């Protein structure tokens, strides 16, 4: 049986949220990242949280918190790099802290449809979601080199390293992420 590490990406600057730490914003009475954590825990063996501020609040979840190994918030790829570098398992499942309705079997479905690829990500009916991905730890060194060159495009990195999308026919709402205060208000109404 393959073991998986799950990583919740919560290390962004929250620029579209007025600089607030998006993972800690409340939805239905609990922080956004907690919704993701509840859906991710049954799918993996251990969960790490990639965060760059409010570390103590994330640690209160009981999860190990890892910070970017690169300065200046270089984006989700930096959180993915830290997750890969800190994983004790060969395979790491990533999800953003702002996708509270994540399918409860997304890791298994990515695993079953990855073929020989070292990385796969979710494609919904409308678009790709490269931050919802399953990535082999062997890509860590290449990813670090990519970031050091100033590259920031996640999907391009995954494609250039043999990855492919896995199509999910779930309702689009399963992959909806909360990027703005308006999105948060809209989700409260659901």
CATH number 3.90.550.10 given to 4-186? yes
What pLDDT was estimated at residue 175? 84
> Contact 31/51 with Cβ under 8 angstroms?
no
Question: Residue for token digits 């026919």?
Answer: 169
| CA 36 from centre of chain | 9
In angstroms, rounded to a whole number, what is the distance separating the alpha carbons of residues 19 and 190?
Answer: 25
Known binding residues for GTP:
9-11, 22, 68, 98
Instruction: Rounding to the nearest 10 degrees, give the CA dihedral for residues 102, 75, 119, 65.
Output: -70
Instruction: List the structure tokens of 113.
Output: 């449809």
Phi, psi of 154 (to 5 degrees): -65, -50
| Claim: this prediction has a pTM higher than 0.85 | yes
In this structure, what are the phi and psi dihedrals at residue 148, rounded to the nearest 5 degrees?
-65, -25
Which residue ranges in the chain fall short of pLDDT 70? 1, 12-19, 71-74, 179-190
Where is the binding site, in residues? 9-11, 22, 68, 98
Give dist(CA 55, CA 147) in Å, integer.
Answer: 23
Rounded Cα gap, residues 92 and 44, in angstroms: 9
- Break the chain into its structural domains and give their ranges: 4-186
Residues marked as binding for Mg(2+)? Answer: 98
Closest CA to 63 of 140, 6, 101: 6
């Amino acid at each position: 049986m393959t073991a998986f590490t799950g990583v919740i990406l919560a290390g962004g600057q929250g620029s579209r949220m007025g600089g607030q730490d998006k993972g800690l914003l409340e939805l239905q009475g609990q922080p956004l990242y907690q919704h993701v954590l509840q859906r991710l825990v049954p799918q993996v063996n251990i969960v790490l949280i990639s965060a760059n501020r409010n570390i103590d609040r994330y640690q209160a979840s009981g999860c190990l918190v890892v910070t970017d190994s690169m300065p200046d918030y270089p984006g989700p790829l930096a959180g993915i790099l830290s997750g890969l570098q800190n994983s004790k398992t060969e395979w790491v499942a990533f999800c953003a802290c702002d996708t509270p309705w994540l399918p409860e079997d997304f890791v298994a479905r990515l695993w079953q449809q990855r073929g020989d690829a070292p990385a796969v990500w979710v494609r919904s009916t409308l678009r790709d979601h490269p931050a919802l991905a399953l990535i082999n730890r062997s890509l860590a060194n290449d990813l670090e080199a990519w970031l050091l060159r100033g590259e920031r495009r996640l999907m391009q990195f995954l494609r250039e390293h043999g990855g492919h999308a896995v199509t999910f026919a779930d309702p689009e709402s399963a992959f909806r992420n909360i990027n703005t205060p308006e999105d948060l208000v809209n989700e409260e109404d659901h």
